[in-house]
C-alpha cells in the first residue's frame, strides 16, 4: 500500500501547546475521552485545557505510540522518575 502524505496546517496558538499536570481518561463503548488540566500548585483550583475524543481503535494506536516514545526516551535519557503529584482532584496524576 502506498503511503499518502498529508499536509496538516497548525494554528500558531495550538502550536504553542499547553502544560498539563493532571489527566482524566474515561470511556464508553464508542469512544475514549481524554481530559487534560492544569491544577495550580498554590491554590485549590485548576483549569481544563483540552479534551480529546478518540475512537477505541485510535485510542489503542495512541497508547502504542506513547509506550514506544516513553521506551525510546528512557533508552536515551534514563528512567523517568515520578515527581510529587499535585492534590487529588479525581484526575490521574
Given a contact cutoff of 8 angstroms between Cβ atoms, the answer to whether 70 and 80 are in contact is: yes
Specify the pLDDT at position 92.
Answer: 54
- Evaluate if residue 15 carries a pLDDT over 60: yes
What Cα–Cα distance (Å) separates residue 1 from each residue in 5, 9, 23, 58?
A: 13, 25, 36, 20
Query: Which one-letter DSSP state was computed for residue 17?
Result: -
- Evaluate if residue 44 carries a pLDDT over 80: no
Specify the pLDDT at position 42.
Answer: 80
Given a contact cutoff of 8 angstroms between Cβ atoms, the answer to whether 26 and 33 are in contact is: yes
Q: Bridge-partner residues for 52, per DSSP?
A: 34
Specify the pLDDT at position 87.
Answer: 59
Specify the pLDDT at position 84.
Answer: 75
Q: What is the pLDDT of residues 63-75, one digit of tens each?
A: 999 999 999 999 9
Amino acid at each position: 500500500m502506498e503511503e499518502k502524505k498529508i499536509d496538516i496546517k497548525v494554528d500558531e496558538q495550538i502550536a504553542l501547546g499547553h502544560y498539563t499536570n493532571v489527566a482524566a481518561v474515561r470511556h464508553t463503548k464508542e469512544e475514549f475521552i481524554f481530559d487534560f488540566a492544569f491544577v495550580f500548585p498554590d491554590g485549590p483550583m485548576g483549569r481544563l485545557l483540552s479534551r480529546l475524543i478518540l475512537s477505541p481503535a485510535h485510542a489503542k494506536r495512541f497508547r502504542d505510540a506513547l509506550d514506544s516514545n516513553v521506551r525510546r526516551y528512557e533508552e536515551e535519557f534514563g528512567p523517568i522518575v515520578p515527581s510529587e503529584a499535585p492534590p487529588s482532584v479525581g484526575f490521574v496524576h
